[in-house]
Amino acid sequence: MKIIPAIDIMNGQVVRLVQGRPENKTIYGNNPIETAIKWEKQGADMLHIVDLDATLQRGSNLSLIEKIFKEITIPAQVAGGLRNEEIISSTLDFADRVVIGTLAFKNIELVKKLASKFGNENLVISADHNNGIIVVNGWTQKTEVLLSDAIKELANDGFTEFLVTNVSRDGMLQGPDLENLNMLCKQNLNIIASGGISKPSDVSDVKKCNAYGVILGKALYDKKITIEEAKKLA
């Protein structure tokens, strides 16, 4: 199982939000490049880099994110606001993978076109949900789509890489959503678990679900777990 630190960027700073809310922001640093290098040196398998300003449609940190890729050697995926073909193509010019959320639920035909162009393995579908119901547009808009149905349909379309976040647990340090994770990991897909990691045993629990990877966010930044600890358990 891959250990994947998150680097969430807002106004050029490394931050963490609680349940995706900008008003519940904690700043952890002013240099995302240094943060990326630090996590790589500590043994991260991959990085999950999120442009929160793009997610919330109030700016872009893409040039800064591109600079990060010039300073690291491990793979990294980019998420946040990737909602049209042009921005996805330009991001894949330097990124290993892109994470697509809203677009997958609003224009699946375009996402399938992108998959045929760039390869399914380079497109990670972000299935953000609030206790089993898909949410989009930076978690601000609830749909009527069930998480289980969404994953099944997207898998039938040939997608294999998924990032699954229960937004009600994100940044809350209350443990991962093992019920939904167990259900999804039985489908022979690469599922990255995100949201709720609070202590080393949570990583063990996610591993038991047979997840492909786990995102470390607030617990890592608050020193409740280290990458070294997580790697031993993964």
The 8-class DSSP code of residue 121 comes to G
Q: Which of 45, 53, 128, 170 is catalytic?
A: 128
Q: Which of the residues 8, 45, 170, 205 is marked catalytic? A: 8
Catalytic residue check, 8: yes
Q: Which residues pair with 97 in a beta bridge?
A: 77
Which helix (H) or strand (E) is 91 found in, with range?
helix 85-92
Q: Is 202 a catalytic residue?
A: no
Beta strands in the chain (DSSP E): 2-10, 13-18, 21-29, 47-51, 76-79, 97-100, 123-130, 133-136, 141-146, 161-166, 190-194, 213-216
Whether residue 5 contacts residue 226, with contact meaning beta carbons closer than 8 Å, is answered with no
Contact 234, 207 (CB under 8 A): yes
Which are the catalytic amino acids? Answer: 8, 128
